[in-house]
Chains A and B, each alone.
Chain A
């Protein structure tokens, strides 16, 4: 039977693979623009959500995108490579992208700092794959709200994430219980980015 011939198998596999692959490639091309736009939008939303008075929960995606383009200034050397928010030419806040390896995969987020260059306004994450229910709890407002008003250190590590229950100083927050790995890594991600920013801004030697 022809089905048992070796050459038939080779050609058969080749054609089946070519057929299914081309459909997948076509489909991926078709949706690629949308996927990229989603990523960009997630980033812009994260930036807006940590800057003062920009976040509107029921705004449409388009409105948010326009707001981002209009209000947020792109990073430059004068801002230590952080995005900035200005009002009447006066700087109000920095939005510093943070990025690094989490427990399962990279965590990407934004941390915003007031014009005094040390008070945290907020933190948000737009890409992460931590364990749902555990590490992924860093997305909850319970965890993120802890950062509001904390003062980053210029001598010690800028921020510390302490186990739940411990007494906190002004640059410390509580970790997510049961997610030690995520917390340790997140602390490093934040500190690496903030330290670099402080050095570029000339506030840390």
Chain B
């Protein structure tokens, strides 16, 4: 792509990260955290913000160093950079939002092992200029986030009858029998499968025949 086609590139990156190549329902990466933190919408939001921050800045940093990093140790360097940003997020939460830090427990630290980040570093940041790497990371993280929020909303609503901790009409009333299983681990598997199914069906309908 020529350096002049900035606008189209932005669009392509957005379409790839959010839809065509969505990390959750297309690449099926980062499933561990998808299953683990989606039982409450608020926890999920914080997790998503943490991932957006970590992924975009890790991607940019890997890209900055790409011309100096020897190929044979590049994954060590990438892991180091990712860990660096994750620890920053973890420390910020511990210092300024201890309650949330307590609720997310080990999952913040586990962002380090989120395959989406390593995947983007390997697939894009390694070979792309900083701006593109940053945007690629950003849109992939947003693609991850919106799927997680959908899953979390359904799980919290059906499982606990609340949204963001506030009682939802009907779902929190006595007429609705709460589906406890939705906030338990199996609920996450069901929702992830259903969401993947729905989005892939829509996606395959929009594709050109014969593709």
Contact = CB atoms under 8 A, between A and B. Distances in A.
Interface of A: 3-4, 8-9, 12-13, 16-17, 20, 23-24, 27-28, 31, 34-35, 38-39, 42, 104-105, 127-129, 131-134, 136, 177-178
B202 interface: no
Contact of A24 (B43, B68, B88, B180): B88
B124 interface: no
Contacts of A17: 80
Nearest to A34: B95
A132 B102 contact: no
Contact of A8 (B70, B76, B80, B103): B70
Contact of B102 (A8, A31, A128): A128
Given A24-B91, A104-B106, 10 more contacts: A4-B70, A12-B70, A20-B84, A23-B84, A24-B87, A34-B96, A35-B94, A129-B102, A132-B103, A134-B184
29 contacts: A3-B71, A4-B70, A4-B71, A8-B70, A9-B70, A9-B73, A12-B70, A12-B77, A13-B76, A13-B77, A16-B80, A23-B84, A24-B84, A24-B87, A27-B87, A27-B88, A31-B92, A31-B94, A35-B94, A35-B98, A38-B95, A38-B98, A42-B98, A127-B102, A131-B184, A132-B43, A132-B103, A133-B40, A177-B180
B106 A129 contact: yes
A69 to B, nearest CB: 20
Interface of B: 39-40, 43, 65, 68-73, 76-77, 80-81, 84, 87-88, 91-92, 94-96, 98, 102-103, 105-106, 159-160, 180, 183-184
Contacts of A128: 102
Contact of B39 (A38, A42, A133): A133
Contacts of B103: 132, 136
Contacts of B84: 20, 23-24
B96 A132 contact: no
Nearest to A17: B80
Nearest to B183: A133
A42 B68 CA distance: 46
A31 B105 CA distance: 18
B62 to A, nearest CB: 11
A13 B73 contact: yes
Instruction: Give me the 8 closest cross-chain CB pairs, A-B, nearest first.
Output: A133-B183, A31-B95, A129-B105, A38-B98, A34-B95, A20-B84, A9-B70, A133-B39
A94 to B, nearest CB: 26
A19 B93 CA distance: 23
Contacts of B92: 31
A137 B71 CA distance: 48
Contacts of A28: 87, 91
B68 A3 contact: yes
B200 to A, nearest CB: 28
A13 B183 CA distance: 43
Contacts of B160: 133
B95 A3 contact: no
